[in-house]
């Protein structure tokens, strides 16, 4: 670990964004949602999750997510504790029958493949990789019962279109999509997926600790066929138990009440403003500001070469070798602009910018001007 001396560079106040949170997860939580939480603080926090007020919010989260994602009839929203990482473990027990295929193109998509590879009860997964900054394509294969895709690879800023593998019928294999950083911000057709799962500390602008999964009838059927006692599973990871509890607007064990409240606030805000189309257009404006700036800049360039694969929610921008991106992020942090650091394991001279629906497109444009200011000061 090297400690960076942070150069004393003050960014003029009129250049600064109104809100300096650009993290890719946890990400900016809207001040209005936090004020609403504070407003109900003493009647909400510290109350039972088995009583009507909390169950009503769980019901609202389930129906709000179904509305936002425009789920077809028959799809159900499940939820449980432990975030996306716990959901991967649950999927190892309760969604994959024998053999899965994984598109691995960054830290998160590779982690799910790794969890499957370590499971003694499953066949070794079919893992298709591509270099960071790109995504591989699905290859329909004999005997594959689950295809694992990632809507937005948060570590590299690569987004992919969601389609069932060519020639694979909807009831032949499940398509399971890690949508942790895309859900509620990127358009897709739910008919092309069976499990669209996420944790709410990214595009849904809440806090971590929870997983949510929109499941098609085929996915619900698979959960029923694999659930214990048919296959042993730790109860906290048992999707059958999660299904029963979700249908009763509960979780198997105690959830974080603040997280539930904040997810509900964000879903209401998104649905009330025009839903997924609106959110996607808003993120599109932020992304146009960031990538447009980077393309025009002589010290910055978009990391993802193919514009079609550039994420509209997590922007990765390489900086010229003459400026150290870590120093730029540190100077930004000293000026109240936080979490623009590159994903550490990617090891690039890069900034990474969360452009989720909660982030103001004008603030992204302001951030670009601030980076220009810092680069100019560092290279002067």
Ligand X SMILES: *Cc1c(COP(=O)(O)O)cnc(C)c1O
Q: Which residues would be at the binding site for ligand X (CB under 6 A)?
A: 25, 83-85, 108, 150, 154, 178, 180-181, 199, 202, 208
Q: Which of residues 88 and 293 has its CB atom nearest to ligand X in the complex?
A: 88
Q: Which of residues 85 and 297 has its CB atom nearest to ligand X in the complex?
A: 85
Q: How far is the CB of 11 from ligand X (least distance, A)?
A: 28
Q: How far is the CB of 43 from ligand X (least distance, A)?
A: 28
Q: Which of residues 140 and 256 has its CB atom nearest to ligand X in the complex?
A: 256
Q: Which of residues 178 and 238 has its CB atom nearest to ligand X in the complex?
A: 178
Phi, psi of 72 (to 5 degrees): -65, 160
Q: Which residue is nearest to ligand X (CB)?
A: 83
What is the dihedral sign for C-alpha 48, 52, 56, 58? positive
- Distances in Å between the Cα of 155 and the Cα atoms of 54, 58, 265, 313 are 34, 30, 27, 12
CA-based nearest residue to 350, from 300, 305, 307, 306? 300
Q: How far is the CB of 339 from ligand X (least distance, A)?
A: 13
Q: How far is the CB of 134 from ligand X (least distance, A)?
A: 16
CB 177 within 8 A of CB 150: yes
CA-based nearest residue to 257, from 58, 60, 35, 31? 58
Q: Which of residues 75 and 87 has its CB atom nearest to ligand X in the complex?
A: 87
d(CA 44, CA 29): 18
CA-based nearest residue to 49, from 243, 257, 237? 257
Q: Which of residues 180 and 251 has its CB atom nearest to ligand X in the complex?
A: 180
Q: Which residues pair with 211 in a beta bridge?
A: 80
For residue 19, whether the previous peptide bond is cis, meaning omega lies within 30 degrees of 0, is no
Q: How far is the CB of 109 from ligand X (least distance, A)?
A: 7
Phi, psi of 294 (to 5 degrees): -65, -40
Q: Which of residues 261 and 293 has its CB atom nearest to ligand X in the complex?
A: 261
> End-to-end distance of the chain based on CA atoms, in angstroms?
27
Q: How far is the CB of 160 from ligand X (least distance, A)?
A: 11
Q: How far is the CB of 110 from ligand X (least distance, A)?
A: 10
In what helix (H) or strand (E) does residue 59 lie, and over which residues does it extend? Answer: helix 52-69
């Amino acid at each position: 670990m090297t400690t960076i001396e942070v150069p004393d560079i003050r960014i003029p106040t009129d250049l600064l964004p109104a809100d300096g949170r650009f993290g890719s997860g946890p990400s900016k939580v809207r001040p209005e949602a936090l004020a609403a939480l504070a407003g109900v603080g003493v009647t909400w926090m510290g109350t039972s999750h088995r009583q009507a007020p909390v169950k009503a919010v769980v019901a609202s989260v389930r129906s709000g997510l179904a509305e936002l994602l425009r789920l077809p009839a028959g799809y159900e929203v499940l939820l449980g504790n432990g975030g996306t990482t716990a959901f991967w473990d649950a999927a190892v027990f309760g969604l994959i029958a024998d053999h899965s295929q994984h598109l691995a193109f960054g830290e998160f998509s590779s982690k799910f493949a790794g969890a499957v590879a370590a499971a003694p009860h499953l066949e070794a997964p079919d893992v298709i990789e591509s270099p960071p900054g790109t995504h591989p394509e699905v290859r329909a294969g004999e005997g594959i019962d689950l295809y694992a895709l990632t809507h937005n690879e948060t570590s590299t800023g690569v987004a992919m279109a969601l389609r069932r593998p060519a020639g694979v019928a909807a009831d032949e294999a499940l398509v399971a999509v890690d949508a942790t950083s895309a859900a509620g911000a990127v358009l897709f057709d739910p008919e092309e997926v069976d499990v669209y799962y996420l944790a709410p500390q990214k595009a849904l602008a809440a806090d971590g600790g929870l997983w949510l999964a929109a499941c098609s009838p085929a996915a619900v059927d698979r959960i029923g066929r694999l659930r214990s006692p048919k296959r042993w599973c730790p109860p906290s990871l048992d999707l059958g138990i999660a299904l029963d509890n979700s249908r009763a607007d509960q979780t198997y064990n105690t959830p974080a009440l603040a997280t539930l409240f904040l997810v509900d606030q964000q879903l209401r805000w998104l649905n009330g403003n025009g839903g997924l189309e609106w959110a996607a257009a808003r993120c599109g404006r932020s992304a146009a500001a960031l990538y447009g700036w980077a393309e025009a800049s002589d010290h910055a360039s978009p990391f993802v070469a193919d514009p079609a694969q550039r994420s509209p929610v997590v922007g990765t921008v390489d900086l010229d070798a003459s400026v150290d991106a870590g120093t730029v992020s540190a100077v930004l942090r000293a000026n109240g602009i936080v979490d623009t650091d590159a994903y550490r394991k990617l090891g690039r001279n890069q900034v990474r910018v969360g452009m989720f629906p909660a982030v103001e497109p004008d603030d992204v444009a302001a951030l670009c001007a601030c980076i220009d200011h810092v680069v100019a000061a560092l290279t002067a």
